[in-house]
Amino acid sequence: MAYPITYDEYQKNLEKGRFVGLKCKKCQTVSFPPTAVCRACGATALEPVTLGGGGTVKTFTVIRVAPEGRKPPYIVVMVELDEGPFVLGNLDGIQPDQATMDLIGKRVHMDRHLVKGDVYSGEDTYVPLFRPESS
Ligand SMILES: [Zn+2]
């Protein structure tokens, strides 16, 4: 089976700030990062779709004890993108000590940042990063 988007292509798009996911041709569910199978109906007929990057914070946590190589404190958010998929990422632009439950429901915009390869992963990887829409 040929993947509509390979992991390498996903990474190259992310590096350029393009958020390309997959849309199910059967039920229209969008996945991001791209998955080989529709998470809603299991279909494999998927086509690339470029996402706008806007979303809403569904929940978050403040990391105060971080994995080796990461500098706490920082905020990790679970965001529901406007197109539907839920994405985890760091939240930039708000001080972790200022984080309150008011973050839930806040509009954010997706960006990306490079996480250097470390003891947990073999190579440098681009991952989603979120910022408040107003900043
Ligand atoms: Zn589907």
| pLDDT, tens digit, 9 for 90 and up, residues 72-114 | 999 999 999 999 999 999 999 999 999 999 999 999 999 999 9
Q: What is the pTM of this model?
A: 0.90
4 alpha carbon – ligand 1 mean position (Å): 14
91 alpha carbon – ligand 1 mean position (Å): 29
Q: Where are the domains of the chain?
A: 7-50, 54-132
15 alpha carbon – ligand 1 mean position (Å): 27
49 alpha carbon – ligand 1 mean position (Å): 14
Q: What is the pLDDT of residue 14?
A: 95
Q: What is the pLDDT of residue 44?
A: 93
19 alpha carbon – ligand 1 mean position (Å): 19
Q: What is the pLDDT of residue 1?
A: 61
Spell out the alpha helix ranges (H) of the chain. 7-15
| pLDDT digits 0-9 by tens, 26-72 | 999 999 999 999 999 999 999 999 999 999 999 999 999 998 878 99
CA distance 114 to 121: 13
pLDDT of 122 over the 80 cut: no
31 alpha carbon – ligand 1 mean position (Å): 9
Q: Which residues pair with 115 in a beta bridge?
A: 125
Which CATH number applies to 54-132?
2.40.50
